[in-house]
Chains A and B, each alone.
Chain A
Amino acid sequence: MTSISLIAMTSIIIAGLTIAIGSIGPALAEGQAVASALSAIAQQPDEKNTITRTLFVGLAMVESTAIYCFVVSMILLFANPFWNYALSTVN
Chain B
Amino acid sequence: MNFMKIGQISPDQVIFFQYYFIKLNLTILFTWLIMALLVIGSWFITRNLSTGPRTGYGQNLLEILVTGIQGQINEISRQKAGRYMPFIGTLFIFIAFSNLLTVVPGYESPTASLSTTAALAICVFVSVPLFGIVQRGLIGYLKQYIEPTVFMLPFNIMGEITRTLALAVRLFGNIMSGAKIAAILLAIIPFIFPVIMQLLGLLTGLIQAYIFAVLAMVYIGSATQIQAKTQAEPQSNIHKKNDH
What residues make up the interface of A, taking CB atoms closer than 8 Å to B?
49-50, 53, 56-57, 60, 63-64, 67-68, 70-71, 74-75, 78-79
CA distance A60 to B216 in the complex (A): 13
Chain A residues near B174 (CB, 8 Å)?
67
B169 contacts which of A49, A56, A57, A67 (Cβ < 8 Å)? A67
Chain B hits for A79, CB < 8 A: 9
Question: Is the pair A71, B169 in contact by a Cβ cutoff of 8 Å?
Answer: yes
Q: Cα distance A79–B177 when bound, in Å? A: 14
- How many A-B pairs with Cβ below 8 Å? 44
B207 touches A68 (CB 8 A): no
Task: Report the Cα distance A60→B170, complex, angstroms.
Answer: 8
Chain B residues numbered 177-212 whose CB sits less than 8 Å from any CB in chain A: 177, 180, 207-208, 210-211
In this assembly, does B214 line the interface, its C-beta being within 8 Å of a C-beta of chain A?
A: yes
B176 at the interface (CB under 8 A from A): yes
Q: Is B207 within 8 A of A74, CB to CB?
A: no
Q: A53-B214, A56-B207, A57-B214 are in contact. Are A74 and B169 (CB under 8 A)?
A: no
Q: Is the Cβ of B169 less than 8 Å from the Cβ of A68?
A: yes
Q: Which of A53, A56, A60, A70 contacts B177 (CB 8 A)?
A: A70
